[in-house]
A and B are shown apart, each in its own frame.
Chain A
Amino acid sequence: NAGVTQTPKFQVLKTGQSMTLQCAQDMNHEYMSWYRQDPGMGLRLIHYSVGAGITDQGEVPNGYNVSRSTTEDFPLRLLSAAPSQTSVYFCATSAGTDTQYFGPGTRLTVL
């Protein structure tokens, strides 16, 4: 049981490039979400999904797209990266109870 996995661990992009951050879970959790964490700040919600085929925006959704075709996977897409998107990205899941479980994070730098 791997829990929540995220790939890649580190990524450097140039402004304007696109990429997808992967998140996978093997706990059969319905709820999945993406957060970004900037220095000295708490986590801010980007997008979330309450189940396959359902996604919604969080606090800071601009510049990011998501889809949820399966229960296990919830990829986060940056269509045209900007330096303001330099951050650490965390994926989290929960079973519909209150506790959310976080992945190890992806550290993204946009030059």
Chain B
Amino acid sequence: GESVGLHLPTLSVQEGDNSIINCAYSNSASDYFIWYKQESGKGPQFIIDIRSNMDKRQGQRVTVLLNKTVKHLSLQIAATQPGDSAVYFCAEKHLGNEKLTFGTGTRLTIIP
């Protein structure tokens, strides 16, 4: 069946370093992927998305990479800051279908 999973449940990164959060998916029909950030006590916040016809997309300090061959998605955060501490979820869906399937999340902790 389809599933979205994360390689690591926790990640600790030194402030100022780059962070890489990984996500694996199993449904080859998935054509749209999203990264959400969830801070403690808040709802998930959209970070960046990517469609399956792209390999890379950049935002402000964030880059998402998609490798369809191995069904792998990653979120790179440049020069991490204390405010980046949160749980990060990847999610996938099919275009035209609003249902999101979420991974279990990775907790990113920034070490001062």
A interface residues with partner B (beta carbon < 8 Å):
4, 31, 33, 40-45, 48, 50, 58, 90, 92, 94, 96, 98-105
- The 8 A-B pairs of least Cβ separation, nearest first, read A42-B102, A102-B43, A43-B102, A102-B44, A31-B98, A42-B104, A104-B43, A90-B43
Query: Most chain-B Cβ atoms within 10 A of its Cβ — which of A42, A92, A103?
Result: A42
Q: Are B99 and A98 in contact (CB under 8 A)?
A: no
Give the contacts of B6-48 with A (CB-CB under 8 A).
Answer: 9, 32, 34, 36, 41-46
A residues less than 8 Å from B89 (CB atoms): 42-43
* With A43-B89, A98-B32, A99-B49 as contacts: A58 and B43 at CB distance below 8 Å: no
Q: Is B99's CB under 8 angstroms from A45's CB?
A: yes
B54 at the interface (CB under 8 A from A): no
Interface string of B44-65 (1 = CB under 8 A from A): 1110010000000000000000
Listed in ascending order, the chain B residues whose CB lies under 8 Å from chain A are 4, 9, 32, 34, 36, 41-46, 49, 89, 91, 93, 95, 98-100, 102-105
A103 to B38, CA, bound (A): 11
Q: Which B residue's beta carbon lies closest to that of A93?
A: B98
Q: Using A100-B100, A104-B42 as known contacts, list a sample of 10 further A-B pairs with CB atoms less than 8 Å apart, ordered by residue number in A.
A: A33-B98, A33-B99, A41-B104, A42-B102, A90-B44, A96-B98, A100-B46, A100-B98, A102-B44, A105-B41
How far is the CB of B32 from the nearest CB of chain A, in Å?
A: 5
The residue in A43, A44, A101, A105 that gathers the most chain B C-beta atoms within 10 A of its C-beta is: A43
**A45-B100 in contact (CB<8A):** yes
Q: Are A58 and B99 in contact (CB under 8 A)?
A: yes
Contact partner of B44 (CB less than 8 A), chosen from A40, A43, A44, A48, is A43
The CA-CA distance from A103 to B40 in the complex, in Å, is 14
With a cutoff of 8 Å between Cβ atoms, the chain B residues found around residue A48 in the complex are: 98-99
A48 to B100 alpha-carbon distance, docked (Å): 11
A40 to B42, CA, bound (A): 15
